[in-house]
Amino acid sequence: MARVRRGNARLRVGLVGYGVGGAAFHAPFVATTPGLELSAIVTRDPARQQQAARDHPDARVVAEVERLWEPSAGIDVVVISTPNRTHVPLALSAIEAGLHVVVDKPLATSVTEGRDVVSAAQRRGVVLSVFQNRRWDGDFQTIGRLLAERALGTPLRFESRFERWRPTPTGSWRERGAPEEAGGLLFDLGSHLIDQALVLFGRASEVYAELDRRRFGVEADDDVFVALTHVSGMRSHLHMSAVAGQPAARFRVLGTTASFTKWGLDVQEAALRAGARPGTPEWGVEPAEQWGTLGTETEVRRIPTERGDYGAFYAGLVRAVRSDAPPPVDPASAIAMLEVIEAARASAQQRIVVRR
């Protein structure tokens, strides 16, 4: 069974990995969420060890992840923010040790492995969740509100883009082509865009995809298009690219009575990368000049963006561990997202030659 800390003691968290994900997207929220304590940080890189010690002087910085599995470490929750190929073995080890687990997206590199992790967590009686933080983007929350209010009438098509201008490859593992790496934009940005589409419109019944490698020397996809037909009949068109010199609108949602268009990314990522800490009064608040527009050719109005809050994920994690509340992201939804990724890869491998 899971290790349980009694009373009002804070849940002690061990963070595995201190790259951009661990340092900017996990540690700040663990450190500022009531009920959590950032107790240990695992990284073998000497420079990152020094950075972690500076950023979080009350946390132990260790080089070996096995230190967290020992009961003497006193860890309750493990957060895994490491390369995709390591997600499954690390999650299974943490589960076997009786620890609750948060895995950065994607949960696994395949549907089969993802199901293995979910089954292991169920057998051991631990909470398992996947860090799909962009469910708490302010613009995504705004779309959810507009759909609930039927402000667009009946939705017809959902267009979502996460495009960057990265013409020069970095040589990172994300650009490698080996299947076990799960590199490329489909696994990286696609994990966000597919998840958001499934949250809004339900499971997909059909998947079409185009996966391209546009930059010299890159082995994994860096320019991707995925089209989903949902069981409801709704269509989602998802674009992700590293070669977009002029990115298009982040969101466009077409409906029978109006459309909603939103440019630019949620403000939280830029704030985190700049070293800002969550919990301030202005956290996640987008300036009015960046708000999206709702309307038609003849009438358009600005729509205030909902406040973004990635910290809501960790607040939900505390509730899930302390009570019978569901995890902030159900791992079953992570499996559904992986099913779409596998279908997209299969679709992209098909080539139909039209002969004259």
The one-digit pLDDT tens for each residue of the chain (356 residues) are 565 544 568 999 999 999 999 999 999 999 999 999 999 999 999 999 999 999 999 999 999 999 999 999 999 999 999 999 999 999 999 999 999 999 999 999 999 999 999 999 999 999 999 999 999 999 999 999 999 999 999 999 999 999 999 999 999 999 999 999 999 999 999 999 999 999 999 999 999 999 999 999 999 999 999 999 999 999 999 999 999 999 999 999 999 999 999 999 999 999 999 989 998 999 999 999 999 999 999 999 999 999 999 999 999 999 999 998 999 999 999 999 999 999 999 999 986 666 66
pLDDT score at 184: 96
Matching CATH number, 138-307, of 3.30.360.10, 3.20.20.150, 3.30.499.10, 3.20.20.80? 3.30.360.10
Q: Which two tokens stand for residue 27?
A: 């540690």
pLDDT score at 65: 97
pLDDT score at 318: 98
Matching fold, domains 11-133+312-328 and 138-307: no
Q: Report how far residue 294's alpha carbon sits from residue 258's, in angstroms, rounded to the nearest whole number.
A: 7
pLDDT score at 298: 93
In the chain, domain spans: 11-133+312-328, 138-307
Q: Report how far residue 269's alpha carbon sits from residue 310's, in angstroms, rounded to the nearest whole number.
A: 10
Sign of CA dihedral 225, 227, 228, 232: positive
CA 26 to chain centre: 11
CA 155 to chain centre: 24
Q: Which two tokens stand for residue 256?
A: 């029978």
pTM score, two decimals? Answer: 0.95
pLDDT score at 355: 67
pLDDT score at 324: 85
pLDDT score at 6: 47
> Which superfamily does 11-133+312-328 belong to?
NAD(P)-binding Rossmann-like Domain (3.40.50.720)
Which SS3 state, helix, strand or coil, does residue 158 take?
strand
